[in-house]
């Protein structure tokens, strides 16, 4: 498509070097110039310029079309000639090779001209390099094996072994890693990358657990060359994080499900540590009892000598709150808070633990309020009582109804689970497999 353009103008003595393809009309000489790769070129005098100037693209590289005529603007042939004279394709391809090996003698800061049995590489400040020489006589040793901090017995050295320092002792071991370097002839830098993985992270824990998510947190590895952390779920990689990141939120999880996570450290050579494992279960449900009449639970008649009870209570003032009561057939087998606010347990249970810590039940209160607490009751008398256990109510009533939430109740006999009512599952079912049906008068899963 034709274009109509406006051309800049100036006096000829003010004409500067034009950009390639740029026009300028000299008003004092009536001449039209265009910029090319060879400088300004005269196109025409005013008398030669048609009244209409039509400029179009040309199919030929380096040309434009002015009023139907091809006009050369620049010639790129010289560029390619210059490029061809400056580079050799074969030479460039040879220089691209970067992976190869070297002998120790090629390393510029090591001098191994002196080669005798028993010689060692010792650093010489005066030469600024490691030099092969005899061990100093003041050491009292004539071979490496006589030095206190060198162990050449386990394993025995073989050809091409090097001394590796670990835990205060130098030992013979195979040289690890390959030599990678750029192909410089003089002053070459040789790097021996390690194949040893970096140290693990510290304090790998799970925090902020919900029903569908959790947060993994850790302290950084002490290794200075850690580049990334890999996070695995059941040995499947789920994320790779930069070394500056110290936590990971994992979501889209299932309710009340056990998960295993592993974190590894990865260095700049790709070496990966074995990793550290942490296990966690997402939150489940709890059973809420509102403290109203007939709002309680009751187990079948079962032989047991231990109860593990995880619950949270809202103690009602000026009344007795029963949390667990088996007194119908097991004397003095109850846990309660009386109307004065004192917590007590029946003499049937010899030992009482709150959150895995044994408590003195004569000191009160020992049952926390408004937080989930695990209470473990143990009978060491050896009696073989059979009893039904009422939960959150007085078994003799039922009355003295308690208010709160329950996560789990387990009854055991001689260390074996007899019944397991885990409300985290959102059901009343006995999870022990013994099918001991729980009587539930009321309750709401939340």
In this structure, are 298 and 381 located in the same domain?
Answer: yes
Average pLDDT over residues 121-143: 71
In this structure, are 344 and 390 located in the same domain?
Answer: yes
For residues 112 and 132, the answer to whether their CB atoms sit within 8 Å is yes
pLDDT at residue 84, as a whole number:
61
Whichever domain contains 356, its CATH number is 2.60.120
> How is residue 32 written in tokens?
């039209």
Question: What domain range includes position 299?
Answer: 287-445
Q: How many residues does the chain have?
A: 446
The whole-chain average pLDDT of the chain stands at 84
Average pLDDT over residues 357-386: 91
| Share of residues in the chain with pLDDT > 70 (%) | 79
| Tens-digit pLDDT profile for residues 238-273 | 999 999 999 999 999 999 999 999 999 999 899 999
User: Residue 19 carries which DSSP code?
Assistant: P
For residues 27 and 10, the answer to whether their CB atoms sit within 8 Å is yes
* Stretch among 183-197, 302-316, 324-338 having the lowest mean pLDDT: 183-197
Q: Please name every residue paired with 373 in a beta bridge, in sequence order, or none if there are none.
A: 311
Average pLDDT over residues 154-174: 70
Banded model confidence at residue 176, pLDDT cuts 50, 70, 90: low
In this structure, are 301 and 403 located in the same domain?
Answer: yes
pLDDT at residue 30, as a whole number:
87
In this structure, are 334 and 429 located in the same domain?
Answer: yes
**Is the pLDDT reported for residue 319 higher than 80?**
yes
pTM given for the model = 0.55
State the DSSP string of 96-136: T--B----GGGSTTEE-----TT-EEEEETTTTEEEEEPPP
Banded model confidence at residue 184, pLDDT cuts 50, 70, 90: very low
Give the distance from CA 354 to its chain's centroid.
Answer: 36
In this structure, are 293 and 423 located in the same domain?
Answer: yes
Banded model confidence at residue 160, pLDDT cuts 50, 70, 90: low
Whichever domain contains 238, its CATH number is 2.60.40.10
State the DSSP string of 157-213: P-TTEEEEEETTEEEEEEPPS--B----SSS---B----SPPPPPEEEEEES--SS-
Banded model confidence at residue 199, pLDDT cuts 50, 70, 90: very high
More confident residue, 56 or 310: 310
Angle at 409 between CA 291 and CA 444, to 5 degrees: 40
In this structure, are 403 and 274 located in the same domain?
Answer: no
In this structure, are 300 and 440 located in the same domain?
Answer: yes
**Residue 192 covered by a domain:** no
Cis omega before residue 352 (within 30°)? no
More confident residue, 33 or 136: 33
**What are the φ/ψ torsions at residue 135 (nearest 5 degrees)?**
-65, 145
pLDDT at residue 179, as a whole number:
42
> How is residue 359 written in tokens?
């408590």
pLDDT at residue 90, as a whole number:
63
pLDDT at residue 86, as a whole number:
60
Name which of 438, 433, 407 is nearest 284 in CA terms: 407
In this structure, are 420 and 299 located in the same domain?
Answer: yes
pLDDT at residue 162, as a whole number:
72
**Is the pLDDT reported for residue 351 higher than 80?**
yes
**Residue 179 covered by a domain:** no
Banded model confidence at residue 117, pLDDT cuts 50, 70, 90: confident
**Is the pLDDT reported for residue 434 higher than 80?**
yes
| Share of residues in the chain with pLDDT > 90 (%) | 51
Boundary (domain end) residue, out of 281, 299, 324:
281
**Residue 226 covered by a domain:** yes
pLDDT at residue 77, as a whole number:
62
**Residue 334 covered by a domain:** yes
Banded model confidence at residue 398, pLDDT cuts 50, 70, 90: confident
**Is the pLDDT reported for residue 400 higher than 60?**
yes
> How is residue 99 written in tokens?
């992976």
More confident residue, 46 or 437: 437
**Residue 190 covered by a domain:** no
Sign of CA dihedral 307, 308, 311, 316: positive
**Residue 316 covered by a domain:** yes
Boundary (domain end) residue, out of 174, 193, 214:
174
In this structure, are 369 and 328 located in the same domain?
Answer: yes
Boundary (domain end) residue, out of 281, 308, 324:
281
pLDDT at residue 181, as a whole number:
43
More confident residue, 410 or 173: 410
In this structure, are 393 and 319 located in the same domain?
Answer: yes
| Tens-digit pLDDT profile for residues 26-74 | 988 888 889 888 889 888 766 565 656 677 777 777 777 777 777 776 6
pLDDT at residue 315, as a whole number:
94
pLDDT at residue 141, as a whole number:
61
**Residue 73 covered by a domain:** yes
Q: Which among 2-16, 119-133, 159-173, 223-237 has the top mean pLDDT?
A: 223-237
**Residue 370 covered by a domain:** yes
For residues 206 and 280, the answer to whether their CB atoms sit within 8 Å is yes
Average pLDDT over residues 216-233: 96
pLDDT at residue 245, as a whole number:
96
**Is the pLDDT reported for residue 126 higher than 90?**
no
In this structure, are 264 and 301 located in the same domain?
Answer: no
In this structure, are 123 and 209 located in the same domain?
Answer: no
* Stretch among 175-189, 199-213, 229-243 having the lowest mean pLDDT: 175-189
Q: Work out how many domains the chain is built from and give that number.
A: 4
């Amino acid at each position: 498509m034709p274009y109509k353009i406006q051309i800049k103008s100036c006096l000829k003595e003010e004409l500067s070097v034009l950009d390639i393809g740029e026009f300028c009309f000299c008003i004092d000489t009536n001449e039209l110039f265009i910029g090319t790769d060879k400088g300004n070129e005269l196109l025409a005098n005013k008398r030669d310029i048609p009244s209409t100037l039509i400029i179009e693209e040309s199919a030929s590289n380096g040309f434009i079309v002015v009023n139907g005529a091809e006009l050369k603007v620049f010639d790129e042939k010289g560029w390619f000639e210059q490029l061809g004279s400056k580079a050799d394709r074969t030479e460039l391809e040879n220089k691209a090779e970067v992976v190869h090996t070297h002998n120790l003698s090629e390393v510029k800061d090591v001098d191994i001209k002196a080669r005798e049995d028993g010689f060692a590489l010792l650093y010489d400040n005066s030469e600024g390099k490691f030099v092969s020489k005899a061990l100093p006589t003041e050491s009292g040793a004539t071979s490496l094996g006589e030095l206190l901090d060198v162990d050449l017995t386990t394993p025995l050295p073989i050809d091409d072994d090097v001394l590796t320092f670990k835990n205060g002792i130098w030992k013979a071991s195979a040289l690890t890693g390959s030599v990678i370097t750029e192909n410089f002839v003089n002053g070459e830098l040789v790097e021996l990358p390690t194949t040893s993985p970096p140290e693990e992270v510290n304090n790998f824990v799970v925090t902020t657990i919900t029903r569908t998510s959790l947060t993994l947190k850790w302290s950084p590895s002490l290794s200075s060359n850690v580049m990334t952390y890999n996070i695995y779920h059941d040995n499947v990689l789920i994320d790779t994080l930069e070394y500056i990141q110290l936590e990971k939120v994992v979501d889209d999880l299932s309710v009340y499900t056990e998960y295993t996570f592993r974190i590894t450290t990865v260095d700049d050579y790709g070496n990966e540590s074995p990793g550290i494992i942490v296990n966690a279960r997402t939150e489940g449900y709890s059973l809420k009892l509102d403290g109203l009449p007939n709002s309680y639970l009751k187990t079948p008649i079962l032989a047991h000598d231990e109860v593990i009870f995880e619950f949270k209570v809202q103690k009602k003032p000026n009344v007795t709150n029963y949390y667990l009561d088996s007194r119908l057939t097991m004397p003095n087998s109850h846990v309660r808070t009386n109307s004065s606010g004192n917590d007590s347990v029946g003499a049937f249970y010899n030992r009482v633990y709150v959150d895995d810590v044994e408590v003195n039940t004569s000191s009160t209160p020992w049952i926390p309020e408004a937080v989930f607490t695990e209470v473990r009751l143990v009978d060491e008398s050896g009696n073989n009582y059979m009893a039904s256990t009422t939960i959150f109510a007085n078994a003799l009533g039922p009355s003295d109804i308690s208010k709160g939430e329950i996560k789990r109740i387990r009854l055991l006999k001689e260390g074996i689970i007899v019944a397991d009512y885990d409300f985290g599952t959102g059901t009343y079912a006995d999870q022990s497999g013994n099918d001991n049906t729980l009587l539930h008068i009321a309750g709401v899963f939340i």
